[in-house]
Amino acid sequence: MEKYRVKPGTKIKLADFDASDKSEFSGDKKEALAEVKALTDAMDELQEKLFAESTRAVLFVLQAMDTGGKDGTIRRVFGHLNPQGCHVASFKAPTSLELAHDYLWRISAALPRKGEIGIFNRSQYEDVLVVRVHNLVPKEVWEKRYDQINNFEKMLTDEGTTIVKFYLHISKDEQKKRLEARIQDPTKRWKFNPADLKERELWDEYEKAYEAVLSKTSTEYAPWYIVPANRKWYRDWVVAHVAHDTLKALDPQYPQPDEDFSNIVIE
């Protein structure tokens, strides 16, 4: 999956990335879904070991344009994990309490504990995305946040949290199709919000904001992956591979007891 990893210091132009790419998989959709199932089954065992070990944590961050597929990715790639050791945090518009603190306060409160996997549906990056596009704070304020976030993530990794970030990359045409599907399908209509159309008008501004995020905050310790997401099955295949490989590289182990239990007899 190195093809999709953003190397530190790379200047990103999203127009250079094909949102419909599926070049890393030669099979068909059915084969890909079977592979995703095998990867998620393996992740389940790795998660149990991570939870038992309880010395490290993992954080997966998901960002995307509206309709980019964050919810679907969480459901299909991470939905099988034991909720005792896996927590999803969604970040919407900040509350009055959250606004009374620094912008990372609510992020810190949602971080996974040691032994847990955390999944962020949106994240600290909203404060250099929505905030920037809608001019909610002056440029001199949000411009400093790239370095602040990098330093924050470096502190977390130094303290034992592995961080991997996914940008689910869809095209504007694909977003149009998905918004239309929400209107036409009664089972999806609840997802549609007329405000989404206002946000769609800001596509170019959001794209520039994402390019800055991907260029400035992909680091060796907390990398970004630009995931082609027009094809949902391929999106899930890429994310499942990266997530599985991340957990496997940690090589969590069941802890061994401090004492010898061989002479214990339970009657």
| 63 within some domain | yes
Phi/psi of residue 13, nearest 5 degrees: -125, 115
Q: How many domains does the chain have?
A: 1
Average pLDDT, the chain: 96
Taking 90 as the threshold, does the pLDDT of residue 47 lie above it?
A: yes
**Checking phi first, is residue 50 left (phi over 0); if not, alpha (psi -120 to 50) or beta?**
alpha
Structural domain boundaries, residue 27:
2-250
Give the side-chain half-sphere CA count within 13 A for 32.
Answer: 21
Report if residue 263 sits inside a domain. no
Is pLDDT above 90 for 55?
Answer: yes
Q: Residue 105, Cβ neighbours under 10 Å: how many?
A: 13
What CATH number does the domain containing 218 carry? 3.40.50.300
pLDDT tens for each residue of 29-38: 999 999 999 9
Identify the pLDDT of residue 169. 98
Answer yes or no: is 12 within a domain: yes
Q: Is the pLDDT of residue 11 over 90?
A: yes
Name residue, tokens 């182990």. 253
Give tens-digit pLDDT for 56-89: 999 999 999 999 999 999 999 999 999 999 999 9
The answer to whether residue 257 is domain-embedded is no
Residue 101 phi, psi dihedral angles, 5° rounding: -115, 175
Taking the C-alpha atoms of residue 20 and residue 235, their distance in angstroms, rounded to an integer, is 9
Strands 57-64 and 161-169: parallel
Residue 264 has pLDDT above 90, yes or no: no
Please say if the pLDDT value at position 259 is more than 90: no
Q: Which two tokens stand for residue 241?
A: 């591979």
The SS3 call for residue 18 is coil
Residue 265 lies in a domain: no
Q: Which of 212, 211, 205, 192 is nearest to 136 (CA)?
A: 205
Residue 33 in tokens: 């879904």
Per-residue pLDDT at 112: 98
Give the integer Cα–Cα distance in Å for 113 and 105: 16
pLDDT of residue 257: 84
Dump pLDDT digits (tens) for 152-190: 999 999 999 999 999 999 999 999 999 999 999 999 899
Q: How confident is the model at residue 262 (pLDDT cuts 50, 70, 90)?
A: confident
What integer pLDDT is reported at residue 151 of this predicted model? 98
Position 56: which residue type? R
Chain mean position to CA 137 = 25
The two structure tokens encoding residue 167: 């940008």
Q: What is the pLDDT of residue 258?
A: 82
Q: Is residue 225 part of a domain?
A: yes
Distance of alpha carbon 204 from alpha carbon 245, whole angstroms: 33
Q: Is the pTM of this model over 0.85?
A: yes
